[in-house]
Structure 1
Amino acid sequence: NVNQHVSIIRPKQDLLESRFLMYWLNARQTQELIEEIQKGATRQALTKRQIQNFRLPAAPIEHQKVVADFLDAVRTKEDFRSIILPSYLEHIKAIVARIEMLTGKVEEARGLRETAVVETAALMGSATTEFLSSIKDRHEMTLEDTCISIIDCLHSNPRYSDEGIPTLRSPDVGWGTLDLTNARKTDEEEYQRRTRRGEPQKDDIIFVREGGGVGKAGIVLNNQKFSLGQRVMMLRPDQTIIFPRFLLYQLLSPMVYHDQILSRLKGSASPHLNIKALRKFILIVPSLKTQKEIVEQLDVISSKIDALNNLQTFTQSELDALLPSILDKAFKGGL
């Protein structure tokens, strides 16, 4: 069955190859024609008469089948070179080969950008380790001794609403940041229930202690209002002892992640950290002056990584827009 917005077209098999018709209908030129027909109409729809009046390229049925085979091969990335096209269409092979070459260059550029982001992010871990290792006025404290409070999430699923206040889950926590853009929401009553032990406030740290993202952490910014969903917990640093961002950088450092988090993980299907073990994490805590100096230098590196990530996102959009442009130029003879 089909609804009122769909039409069935059944070609005469001795005149029109179905796949040839499909490719023609999906071609940009045909779509532009359809848009032109619909201009000014209050209801965006084609009438049966308008569809019947479409004028297709005249080609023998044998040629239509060969062209359809060729386009099938291109679409599925199979070898199209063995398909013998009619002589007047042989140039299409050269066009597609050119498209493949340019596509390869686009993919190579995309890969280089992604590699640069990964390598630069790795430098952050190396820099943090180097700074922590070079501290002279160092002494060690447990995580619980550096925090005013450590608050776990409620061990119950939030009652979600379409509108309301965000509730933060592990996918919303990055490596240093919190992103509420796609966070699910709860109403005010559920928010109050989930923040009874404490509402997140500026400079608190949200830490993922369960699931595939265990070890991720982000700092709460001013005016960020949310409750804790599942798999996360909240740390409130004692700022007379430790700067929040110094604690954040240390939690994200290889010295903590590899030496203390990975060694304490329980479970394989859903890895998790025991809160008691987490409280006993050993941290390096120098003077506040030294902490401030280290944070300032790591912030500079972090800002460079953010800039590169933004460039990667921008470049990705550019590259994604480039391929349709290449295809359009190719089939108009512009390559």
Structure 2
Amino acid sequence: MSELPKSWTWAAIGDVTRKSAKWDPRTSDDKFTYVDIAAVDANTKRITAPQTILGAEAPSRARQIIEHHDVLVSTVRPNLNAVAFVSRESHGAVASTGFSVLRPTESLHSRYLFHWVQSPRFIEQMVRQATGQSYPAVSDRIVRQSLLPLPPLEEQRRIATILDQATGIQDAAGRYSQILRAHRRTAFLKVLDDTPISHLPVEAVSAAVIDCPHSTPRWRESGVTCLRTANLGYGEWNWDDHRFVDEAQHTERTKRAELLPGDIVLSREGTVGVMAMVSPGMRASLGQRLVQVRPSDEINREYLMEALLHELHPTRVEHRMIGATAKRINVKALKQLLLPIPPRDVQDRFGSIAMKIRESQNQAEKRLAHVTTLTRSLQSRAFRGEL
């Protein structure tokens, strides 16, 4: 255990937090707000998509009443660090038992705790103690038994204020990327509004539609990138959880086709509607639940990706999805999915706009990565008492 400043101590999280009250919503006919794991954005660390549910329809995991200033820590897939600070808007909601609900006592500042559970040291503790290969998880007990560095309360407030300011700059950089994404979407919708449209199936505008190998990759510490749904965003890549396979596996997993620049990789199961385009110099293979779409010469690839994003949005493609527990769209249905196709010159004009936006997004992502690195460095120094 590392040495702390003299006025600091190590404390178990459970010793400086309380547990939330429990309630079974199924005892009521009223509607309630439900916060499950999917409601927390692991990137922004916010509750972004709570559900409104009738008490009679409440899932068995809906049990924990949350309050403003609580800190939620997802106990499943701790490497993704799905944590959130409960805002005033979510006060009184019911959270899944898949969270540790941490309610600070008077000796612990809530924002200080919120920043600690995002720290590499906390994440490493959770990942190290997680059990389950395909669905790694920790228990609430493990979260509460873990140690955090505890300075005097006034010092906690000072550290929390500094880290709030740093993450505010980080959030602003992230929002700029979202604005660019929205601009691309607006340009696409304008094409649909202003131009005569034909409707063609995906297979008619693709040189190939290739399903992933139906086998679980054997992960390695380093090697060749193997893509997962977690790496896909809405037209961009996410490398927060970067996985690798060895050369032999890469060769095996690319027998059907290598990934080429301009190919579009999309998810067909679970989080459907996320995708990204293969960039020059990128070498990777497909993990499970992914599909590789290679645009034909007859379509602008930037336009094709935006059309796929549009038609595979969950609200538009829901009627084509199958499966009781894990919703998915099969490859046959994907090939038959109709896309709105304007004349080629219109596609190319859109593609030119989209490429400029992509260049701006790439620059924005680089700035965000730089700010994120600085924020993490500041965070590490803060919890060593070096600020």
Q: 1:247 aligns with which of 269, 283, 304?
A: 304
DSSP-derived class of the 1:218 partner? strand
**2-structure distance, mates of 1:164, 1:105:** 38
Asked if structure 2 preserves the Cα contact closer than 8 Å seen for 1:124 and 1:302, the reply is no
Given the superposition, is the C-alpha separation of residues 319 and 141 from structure 1 closer, same or farther in structure 2, using an over 3 Å criterion? Answer: same
Q: Structure 1 residue 231: deviation in Å?
A: 0.8
Asked if structure 2 preserves the Cα contact closer than 8 Å seen for 1:164 and 1:187, the reply is yes
Asked if structure 2 preserves the Cα contact closer than 8 Å seen for 1:195 and 1:227, the reply is yes
Q: Say if 2:273 is the partner of 1:215.
A: yes
Match of residue 287 from structure 2? 229
Given the superposition, is the C-alpha separation of residues 325 and 153 from structure 1 closer, same or farther in structure 2, using an over 3 Å criterion? Answer: closer
Give matches, 1:1-335, under 5 Å: 26-28=3-5, 76=16, 78-80=105-107, 96-97=153-154, 100-101=157-158, 103-104=160-161, 106-108=163-165, 110-111=167-168, 113-114=170-171, 117-118=174-175, 119-120=178-179, 123-124=182-183, 126-158=185-217, 165-178=224-237, 182-188=242-248, 190-211=249-270, 213-239=271-297, 241-253=298-310, 255-267=311-323, 269-322=325-378, 324=381, 328=385
**1-structure distance, mates of 2:385, 2:301:** 52
Match of residue 50 from structure 1? none
What CA deviation, in whole Å up to 9, does each residue of 1:37-82 have, x standing for no partner? xxxxxxxxxxxxxxxxxxxxxxxxxxxxxx7899899x9454249x
**1-structure distance, mates of 2:11, 2:237:** 45
Letter in 2 for 1:280: Q
| Structure 2 unaligned residues grouped into runs of 5+ | 17-103, 109-151
**1-structure distance, mates of 2:221, 2:369:** 29
**1-structure distance, mates of 2:217, 2:231:** 15
**1-structure distance, mates of 2:246, 2:384:** 46
Asked if structure 2 preserves the Cα contact closer than 8 Å seen for 1:132 and 1:284, the reply is no
Asked if structure 1 preserves the Cα contact closer than 8 Å seen for 2:273 and 2:314, the reply is no
Higher relative contact order (CA 8 A, sep 6+): 1
**2-structure distance, mates of 1:264, 1:108:** 45
Between structures 1 and 2, the one with greater strand share? 2
Given the superposition, is the C-alpha separation of residues 155 and 137 from structure 1 closer, same or farther in structure 2, using an over 3 Å criterion? Answer: same
Q: TM-score, normalised by structure 1?
A: 0.61
Q: TM-score, normalised by structure 2?
A: 0.54
**RMSD over aligned Cα, in angstroms?**
3.8
DSSP-derived class of the 2:266 partner? strand
What CA deviation, in whole Å up to 9, does each residue of 1:294-326 have, x standing for no partner? 122123333333433333333333334445369
**2-structure distance, mates of 1:256, 1:215:** 5
**1-structure distance, mates of 2:107, 2:286:** 54
What CA deviation, in whole Å up to 9, does each residue of 1:239-274 have, x standing for no partner? 1x2111211122223x54145333322235322112
**1-structure distance, mates of 2:309, 2:195:** 21
Choose 274-283 or 313-322, whichever is displaced more.
313-322
Q: Structure 1 residue 203: deviation in Å?
A: 1.6
**2-structure distance, mates of 1:328, 1:68:** 8
| Structure 1 unaligned residues grouped into runs of 5+ | 1-21, 30-66, 82-94, 331-335
Given the superposition, is the C-alpha separation of residues 312 and 161 from structure 1 closer, same or farther in structure 2, using an over 3 Å criterion? Answer: closer
Percent sequence identity over aligned pairs: 20
**2-structure distance, mates of 1:191, 1:105:** 44
**1-structure distance, mates of 2:202, 2:167:** 41
DSSP-derived class of the 1:176 partner? coil
Match of residue 57 from structure 2? none
DSSP-derived class of the 2:313 partner? helix
Asked if structure 2 preserves the Cα contact closer than 8 Å seen for 1:128 and 1:249, the reply is no
DSSP-derived class of the 1:196 partner? coil
Given the superposition, is the C-alpha separation of residues 68 and 257 from structure 1 closer, same or farther in structure 2, using an over 3 Å criterion? Answer: closer
